[in-house]
Structure 1
Amino acid sequence: MPLPLPSAFVLSALQPSPTHSSSNTQRLPDRVTGVDTDPHFIIHVPQKEDTLCFNINEEPGVILSLVQDPNTGFSVNGQLIGNKARSPGQHDGTYFGRLGIANPATDFQLEVTPQNITLNPGFGGPVFSWRDQAVLRQDGVVVTINKKRNLVVSVDDGGTFEVVLHRVWKGSSVHQDFLGFYVLDSHRMSARTHGLLGQFFHPIGFEVSDIHPGSDPTKPDATMVVRNRRLTVTRGLQKDYSKDPWHGAEVSCWFIHNNGAGLIDGAYTDYIVPDIF
């Protein structure tokens, strides 16, 4: 028998979505920090009016800490899935197939997969599909599900985050639906916030010099000094799907090689966690 839902849970709207969803009633910033596709991390640095990016290469099933605020306990973790069609021993792209968003201060948990959206799974909470249009409220958290498109989580005295649904098309090289995750507003998160994305909620300084042709003539290399380290970085393009989940927008960024080594705090393996919550 499922446990009762927290008394503060309110389903304030559940209705069919119009043909053209009004999902972007929230004003989305021009450039955001987030992670998408296989998985590419995109870090917007407003102080520099520039963007940094890096990949994390890990095995399907691994869970990564994306955001962790030790002051409140708020956390976002993501579990990787792989390409169903990959051959044994072949390392293909991995994608986020499951996200866990938790706010312990209000006993809030949200589990998101490309199939379902579950509120408070530990309490036997309601399950929604991406075909639903709904607004869910629990204490200081509001979850807006925009049919077949995205969902937005807003936390009082915290941040605002977007989960983008990617449905793969027939003939795509990707054989599973997957998720993207974007940070729309983080200015109320504490200064101790960490994680592969959370550590970049605070200003980060870097200098780029010695821009020169790289192995790909369309992607110049350069020297970057960041965190007192000298790195070789490459200028390239990534896709931001925060406003357009189908086509995305190209973002020019400095790519940091080797799983973000030298840019992220510590090694990427430090961000592997045992559970989604």
Structure 2
Amino acid sequence: MFYSEVDGDPHFVVQLPKLKQNLCFTVDGRANDVLRLLEDSERGIMVDGHLMWAPSNQDVEDRSRTYFDQITISTRGGTGVLGSIMITLSLDAVVVEGEGRDTLHTNQEGSVTRQGVMVSMESRDDFHQSCWIELTKDIRFLVLFHHYRHPSYLQMAHLGFYIADGQGLSLSTKGLLGQFQHADMRVTLMKDPRDTLRQPSKEGVLRWGVIHMPVTLQDKTLKDTVRKGHLGSCWVVPKAQVERLLGHPYQSYVVDHL
């Protein structure tokens, strides 16, 4: 199970450890934007993702869809003796740069270690590929490469980024996903006289410091392991409340380039 992730359109999932449940929200991105997913200035770690355009659903043609087609992970020698390294992941290759350059192809298994950072490519078949990035013993990321055997009009190959282990990230970690790494969030159930032990309330209030907002428990397809996505429960933040949850407008997470 992962602490937090961004995958899909892009859909964000944050684990709520005390509840052993997840918090889900969606950010409406713009094609060709580069989003700062994680920034830990103390450890010198940054993760950025490039969004590509995808066709709209037929029933909501005015809403654009986007997916990540490139993820860049860089370190610049913060605390923890991380060297200067850049890892660029695209749909067909993983390029590792730092005192040299190595390329791992996504359709082949392989690994490379540079300046103490280990990058391992795993490929079960042409449609199930993953790359583990271990920066330190307590900072591990995972990137999944999503391909479709017979893609429909709406299905496009894309990447998903996962914080598999973020215990080593500092308390000052920021970014669309990183800001939730050490967040103390909880959900209080809203009582309803119709609720029973077999059917508890599906309405709740998310509490995070001074932020209180309504959330709804829904069944979502979750990809919280390297295996195939599965149906699971998730507390969903209403779209109108996402910016308040983030604490900043979408544009503040957009960076100039990868």
Q: Same fold (TM over 0.5)?
A: yes
Q: Judging changes above 3 Å, is the alpha-carbon distance between structure 1 residues 92 and 199 closer, same or farther for their aligned structure 2 residues?
A: same
Question: What code does the residue aligned with 2:233 have?
Answer: S
**Of 42, 50, 53, which residue of structure 1 is paired with 2:13?**
42
**Of 243, 246, 252, which residue of structure 2 is paired with 1:261?**
243
Residues 226, 262 of structure 1: 8 Å contact kept:
no
CA deviation after TM superposition for structure 1 residue 207, in Å: 3.5
CA deviation after TM superposition for structure 1 residue 45, in Å: 1.6
Query: CA–CA distance in 1 between the matches of 2:209 and 2:178?
Result: 16
Query: CA–CA distance in 1 between the matches of 2:56 and 2:213?
Result: 35
Query: CA–CA distance in 1 between the matches of 2:118 and 2:151?
Result: 37
Residues 40, 238 of structure 1: 8 Å contact kept:
no
**Of 154, 166, 169, which residue of structure 1 is paired with 2:146?**
166
Q: Identify which range, 66-75 or 262-271, moves more after superposition.
A: 262-271
Query: CA–CA distance in 1 between the matches of 2:206 and 2:169?
Result: 28
**Of 198, 219, 230, which residue of structure 2 is paired with 1:249?**
230
Q: TM-score, normalised by structure 1?
A: 0.77
Matches of residues 158-237 of structure 1 in structure 2 within 5 Å? 159-210=139-190, 220-237=202-219
| Structure 1 unaligned spans of 5+ | 1-29, 214-218
Q: Judging changes above 3 Å, is the alpha-carbon distance between structure 1 residues 274 and 235 closer, same or farther for their aligned structure 2 residues?
A: same
The 3-state SS of whatever aligns with 2:216 is strand
The 3-state SS of whatever aligns with 2:247 is coil
Q: Identify which range, 266-275 or 129-138, moves more after superposition.
A: 266-275
CA deviation after TM superposition for structure 1 residue 160, in Å: 0.2
**Of 61, 67, 79, which residue of structure 1 is paired with 2:38?**
67
Query: CA–CA distance in 1 between the matches of 2:230 and 2:74?
Result: 29
Q: Identify which range, 105-114 or 258-267, moves more after superposition.
A: 258-267
The 3-state SS of whatever aligns with 1:199 is helix
Question: What code does the residue aligned with 2:245 have?
Answer: L
2:197 counterpart residue number: none
2:50 counterpart residue number: 79
More strand by share: 2
**Of 99, 102, 108, which residue of structure 1 is paired with 2:71?**
99
Q: Judging changes above 3 Å, is the alpha-carbon distance between structure 1 residues 42 and 31 closer, same or farther for their aligned structure 2 residues?
A: same
Residues 56, 64 of structure 2: 8 Å contact kept:
no
Q: Judging changes above 3 Å, is the alpha-carbon distance between structure 1 residues 211 and 275 closer, same or farther for their aligned structure 2 residues?
A: farther
Question: What code does the residue aligned with 1:270 have?
Answer: S
| Structure 2 unaligned spans of 5+ | 78-82, 195-200
Question: What code does the residue aligned with 2:101 have?
Answer: G
CA deviation after TM superposition for structure 1 residue 31, in Å: 4.5
Count of residues in Structure 1 that have an aligned counterpart in Structure 2: 239
Question: What code does the residue aligned with 2:90 have?
Answer: T
Q: Identify which range, 111-120 or 265-274, moves more after superposition.
A: 265-274
Residues 45, 203 of structure 1: 8 Å contact kept:
no
Residues 211, 223 of structure 1: 8 Å contact kept:
no
CA deviation after TM superposition for structure 1 residue 73, in Å: 1.8
Query: CA–CA distance in 2 between the matches of 1:72 and 1:139?
Result: 15
